[in-house]
Structure 1
Amino acid sequence: MPRLTVPDVRFRASFLEAMAEYAAEEESPGNTRSRELAEYGASWHEPAGFARYVAAVREEEREDGRRPSGFVPGSWFWYVDGDTFIGRIQVRHRLTPHLRDFGGHIGYGVRPSARRRGHATAMLRAVLPYARTLGVDPALVTCDTVNTASRKVIEACGGVLEDERDGKLRYWVPAGRIQSGS
């Protein structure tokens, strides 16, 4: 049964398979995977390089942790089934003006071969209680106006549309209660 877990080196093989799936898709420059590939992609195929990557991702959670300039602390969770990496979700501990408009508190992604099976909805539902422990309630979750799948995920978790800003839909999702249904 799939579950959220903290990033761990034991998922390296499956994580790398997922990154290869993402690479086969066209993506916009500047997203998280592009940044990670530029910084760690050459080394994460080796166990020690991947261990450095996992340690860096986990360090982003700490207030005094290293992270890219301008980034706020954020907690990463991987969604796995056994040793299979399915996707990941991040809870940003607070908002900057940019995140308030475009990124929100929570960002997530599911590997291409695992999409359209309810994983993103399950991930978002599962991480909302954690967001609440950080004082994030409701959580701002955004998606591109053309991303119908993500819009449906957010709405299935109780997201209430506030507005659209420059091609991004901005939803407030209650973290204080877990939504049921899909």
Structure 2
Amino acid sequence: MPELVRPTTDVHASFLAAMAEFREEGRGGPDDRSQIGHDLRQLGIEGLTATDAFAAYVARLNAEPLPETPRPEGFVPSTTFWLVDGPEFLGRIQLRHRLTEWLRDVGGHIGYDVRKSARRRGHASRMLREILSYAHGLGIDPALVTCDVDNLGSRRVIEACGGVLEDVRAGKRRYWIPTA
């Protein structure tokens, strides 16, 4: 049964396969501002193949919630969870603890990705529902979630989880979701 967990080295092989699926979709280009896109540009699949490199990557993700953790300019403290089913990586969701101007306009508090081979099974909805209570615990209420204007699947997920459309900016639909 799938469960939301903090990043773990237990799904190394499956994570690499998922990253290959994302890259095959065209993810990782300069216009991909997601965490998956960032990781594909900065590390690539090759940069995560070695066991020690992957362990360092997992440790970095697990340190991201700490305010003192060094991060690139424009990045804020965030908590990442992975949806796994045993050794199988299915997707990821990231909760950004605060909003920058760019996140307020385009990125939102929450970003998520489900690997292509695991889509259309309710995983995105499950991850989003589960992360909302975690957001509430951090004092985030409501949470901003965005999606591309042409991403009907993500739009349905956000609306099914209580998202209320505020507006459309820079090609993104911006929704506020209560976390309580």
- Structure 2-normalised TM-score? 0.94
Please list the CA deviations of residues 50-109 of structure 1 after superposition, one character each: whole Å capped at 9, or x if unmatched: 011111111211101122211110000000111110000000000011100000000000
Give the aligned partner of residue 85 of structure 1.
Answer: 89
Task: Give, as a single letter, the amino acid of the residue that structure 1 aligns with 2:42.
Answer: E
Q: Which runs of 5+ in 2 are unaligned?
A: none
Task: Give, as a single letter, the amino acid of the residue that structure 1 aligns with 2:40.
Answer: L
Please list the CA deviations of residues 5-45 of structure 1 after superposition, one character each: whole Å capped at 9, or x if unmatched: 00011110110010011111123424322321233333310
* CA shift in 2, pair 1:38/1:166, >3 Å: closer
Moved segments of 4+, more than 3 Å = none
1:35 correspondence with 2:38: yes
1:108 to 109, 112, 123: 112
Moved more, 38-47 or 52-61: 38-47
Moved more, 70-79 or 51-60: 51-60
Q: Say whether the 8 Å CA contact 2:112–2:124 is kept in structure 1.
A: yes
CA distance in 2, matches of 1:74, 1:92: 4
Q: Which runs of 5+ in 1 are unaligned?
A: 177-182
CA distance in 1, matches of 2:109, 2:130: 15
Q: How many residue pairs are counted as aligned between the two chains?
A: 176
Give the aligned partner of residue 164 of structure 2.
Answer: 160
Give the aligned partner of residue 7 of structure 2.
Answer: 7
Two-structure CA RMSD over aligned residues (Å): 1.1
CA distance in 2, matches of 1:169, 1:35: 21
- Structure 1-normalised TM-score? 0.93
CA distance in 2, matches of 1:22, 1:129: 28
1:95 correspondence with 2:99: yes
